[in-house]
Amino acid sequence: MARRQPGCERWLLLAACAHVLVLLPPPRSRAFALNVILDDAEDTAELPVLQKSEKSGTVSKRSRELKEIVFVIQSQSNSFHSKRAEDLKRDILKQAADLGKELPIVLLIHEINRHEGAWTILPLMRDFSIAYGRNSSWIFFCEEDTRIQVVKLLETLGRFDASKEWFLGKALYDEESTIIHHYAFAENPTVFKFPDFAAGWALSIPLVNKLAVKLKSEPLKSDFTIDLKHEIALYIWQKGDGPHLTPVPEFCTDDVNSYKVDQCATTFSNFLPLCKDPVKKEDVFVAVKTCRKFHGDRIPVVKQTWEREAALIEYYSDYADSSIPTIDLGVPNTERGHCGKTFAILERFLNHSSSRTPWLVIVDDDTLISIFRLRKLLSCYDPNEPVFLGERYGYGLGTGGYSYITGGGGMVFSRTAVQKLLASKCRCYSMDAPDDMVLGMCFSGLGIPITHSPLFHQARPMDYPKDYLSHQIPISFHKHWNIDPVKVCPMPLLAKTLPDVPASHRLKFPKGIQAFNHCDQSKERNVIIACFFGIMNPSSTRRFSREAEGTSAIWSALYIITAVSFRPRLSERGDTRAIS
C-alpha cells in the first residue's frame, strides 16, 4: 500500500473548500442568505430583509398598506397543526414589525369560529364583512405551510385596484373531467380555474361584501364539501355573474430553497412532514376491508404493491380464505356503506390487538397507500391525543352538519380516539350506513375534531391537477378504475427517494438553515452536504449522487469541515434540530 505523503490532508481540505466555493450560490443571492447564515438564524430565518437605503416614509406607507390586509391562516385545532399556524402568524407579525408600528390582523380559522364548518370559509364571509368591510382592502388566505414575503405581497396586491371585485390565486385546472368535481365543464375542463390554497389566495373587500350579502339572502345549501378550492371558485363565479380567478404568478408553491422563488410573494415550505423518527412498523396496525368477490383481483394488487411495508396487517371479509388469509368478522357483506364491518374492526383492534399498538389504519381493498410515508407523517402526531386523520370531506356544513374522513383514501385512528369512540353510545344506524360519514357524526358529537391531510386522496392520481400534486409527497390514492394499479402505485407511492436513517445518525443544524426531508434520510455524505448548502432540489438528489461519485474523498473531507466548523457553535447556542 502506498504511503500517504505528509500534508496530504491539508491539501485535501483546501481542495474541498475550493469545491464548495465553486458550487455555492452567489453571496448576495437568496439561496445563500437562507442556507448559510448561521448567526442569529432563529431571528432571521425566512424573513425578507429591508434595504437600509429605504426611506422611513416608504416603510411607514408599507406599514399602513399592510394593515389593510387581513391574513387568515387555514389552521386546525390539532396540536401539531395549531403550532405550525402559530409559527406562521409570528413570522408574519415579525415581518410587519420591521415595516413599522401598524401591525395587520392575523387570524387562525380554528380560533375564529368554533362552528364545525368554519374550515369551509364561505360561512365566515358575513363575519369578515361586518368586522373588516369598511377598514380593510384584502382578505388573504393561506395554509399553515405557506411562507409569505410580506414586502413582495404588498407589491403584488398593489397592482390591483382594491375598490373592484378581485379573486386572486395560483390557478389550477382539470385536464379532464373528474368525479371529485362532479364532471363539471366536461366539454373543456381546462377553462375553469380554481386556486391552489398552498400558494395563498386573496379576495378584495368589495367581493367579500358581495358574497356576504348573497349568503344572507341565499343561505348555503345542505350539501357535500369534497374539494373546497374548486367549490369556492364555483360559488364566487356564480355561472358567470361573479369574477373568475385571476392567476397571479407571484403566488407560488415552489420550495423556499428553489431558485425560482426570487420573484415569488409566497412559497411552500413542506412536502411531507417529518418531526422525528418515523413511527415503528409495529406501531401501525393496518386493516383492509374486502369481500369474497374481490379476493381474486384486488387483494393480489395489495400484496404485489404495498403489503410488504406493513408489519401488522389483516384482511377482513365476509368469507374466511386461508390462502390470503382473510378473517370473517361475522358481519354480512353489504353492497355499500360497510358501517357494521368498520365498527367490528374497531372493536377487534381495541380488544384483540396488542395494547401497545398506538395507530390503526383502515383502508379499502382498492386503496393504494404508502405505509412508509404514513409512518413519517405520524411522527408529528401524539397517539395519546384522540386523532382521526385523513382527507376531510363535509356534509351540510352550511346548516350545522359535520366533517368526516373519506374512507377510500384511508382513515387513521389513534388508539385513544378508538377508545373514546367505543366508550360512547354512537353506533351505526344501519349495517349498510356509510361508515366514514357515521364516524364523522360520532366524532363531531364527541367534540373530537377531524384532522385533515391533503396527502391522502379519495381518487386516482389523474383525477387531480398535476400542479397540485407537484408540491406533495402523496400518501394514498384510491380506485383501480381505468388504470393499472401495479404500475401507478410504485411510481408516486412506493419509491423511497433515500433510505431511512435513525435520528441519532442525522446531522443537526441551526433553525435558520432550510433543508429537504430527503436530506436527512441519506447515508451518502455528498447528498447530505449538497442538500445542506442548497445546491440542489429534492428531485435531483439521485442525479447529484451519481454525478458526485468521483469526488467521494473531497466530499468526505467537506463533511469533516462542516462537522468541525458548525458543531461547536451550535453547542454554544444550544439551538439545534434535526433537518426536517
Residue range 249-285, pLDDT digits in tens:
999 998 877 777 889 999 998 788 999 999 999 999 9
Q: Is 361 a residue whose pLDDT tops 70?
A: yes
| Alpha-carbon dihedral angle through residues 438, 439, 441, 443, given to the nearest 10 degrees | 160
Which DSSP category does 330 fall into?
S
**Phi and psi dihedrals of 67, rounded to 5?**
-65, -15
Q: Quick one: average pLDDT of 20-40?
A: 38
- The DSSP bridge partners found for residue 320 are none
* pLDDT at residue number 492: 56
Per-residue pLDDT tens digits for 290-301: 999 999 999 999
- C-alpha distances in Å from residue 553, one per residue of 34, 446, 469, 526, 548: 27, 59, 38, 10, 10
Fold (topology level) of 281-494: Spore Coat Polysaccharide Biosynthesis Protein SpsA; Chain A (3.90.550)
* Owner of C-alpha cell 374522513: 405
DSSP string computed for 151-168: HHHHHHHTTS-TTS--EE
Q: Which three cell numbers stand for residue 84?
A: 405550525
- C-alpha distances in Å from residue 272, one per residue of 184, 358, 410, 472, 521: 30, 21, 17, 7, 13
* pLDDT at residue number 544: 36
Report helix, strand or coil for 96: helix
* pLDDT at residue number 78: 97
The total of other beta-carbon atoms located within 10 Å of residue 525's CB is 18
What is the model's pTM?
A: 0.77
- C-alpha distances in Å from residue 406, one per residue of 288, 395, 454, 456: 15, 11, 12, 9
pLDDT tier, 10 (very low <50, low <70, confident <90, very high otherwise): low
Percent of the chain with pLDDT over 70: 73
Q: Quick one: average pLDDT of 529-536?
A: 33
Per-residue pLDDT tens digits for 95-129: 999 998 789 999 999 998 778 899 999 999 999 99
Q: Is 11 a residue whose pLDDT tops 70?
A: no
Is the Cβ–Cβ distance between 338 and 520 less than 8 Å? no
The DSSP H or E segment spanning 530 is: helix 525-532
pLDDT tier, 494 (very low <50, low <70, confident <90, very high otherwise): low
Is the Cβ–Cβ distance between 534 and 257 less than 8 Å? yes
* Owner of C-alpha cell 377487534: 348
Distance separating alpha carbons of residues 53 and 39, to the nearest angstrom: 23
Residue type, 386: P
| Higher-pLDDT residue of 253, 576 | 253
For the chain, what is the total number of helices (H) and then of strands (E)? Answer: 20, 25
| Higher-pLDDT residue of 270, 17 | 270
Pick from 17-26, 148-157, 259-268: least confident: 17-26
Per-residue pLDDT tens digits for 533-567: 333 334 333 333 333 333 444 444 444 444 434 43
Q: Is 245 a residue whose pLDDT tops 60?
A: yes
Give the closest residue to 513 by CA, choosing from 496, 498, 528.
528
pLDDT winner (highest mean) among 53-57, 186-190, 572-576: 186-190
Q: Is 60 a residue whose pLDDT tops 60?
A: no
Q: Compute the half-sphere exposure of residue 116: CA atoms within 13 Å on the CB side of its CA.
A: 24
Does the fold of domain 281-494 match that of domain 61-268?
A: yes
The total of other beta-carbon atoms located within 10 Å of residue 379's CB is 16
Distance separating alpha carbons of residues 29 and 26, to the nearest angstrom: 5
* pLDDT at residue number 61: 66
* pLDDT at residue number 487: 78
Q: Which three cell numbers stand for residue 254?
A: 415552489
Residue type, 61: K
pLDDT tier, 59 (very low <50, low <70, confident <90, very high otherwise): low
Distance separating alpha carbons of residues 238 and 163, to the nearest angstrom: 20
On whether the 61-268 domain is CATH 1.10.3480.10, my answer is no
The whole-chain average pLDDT of the chain stands at 80
pLDDT tier, 334 (very low <50, low <70, confident <90, very high otherwise): confident
| Higher-pLDDT residue of 51, 244 | 244
| Higher-pLDDT residue of 438, 51 | 438
* pLDDT at residue number 39: 33
Percent of the chain with pLDDT over 90: 61
Where do the domains of the chain lie? 8-28+500-578, 61-268, 281-494
* pLDDT at residue number 31: 37
pLDDT tier, 239 (very low <50, low <70, confident <90, very high otherwise): confident
pLDDT tier, 399 (very low <50, low <70, confident <90, very high otherwise): confident
| Higher-pLDDT residue of 38, 154 | 154
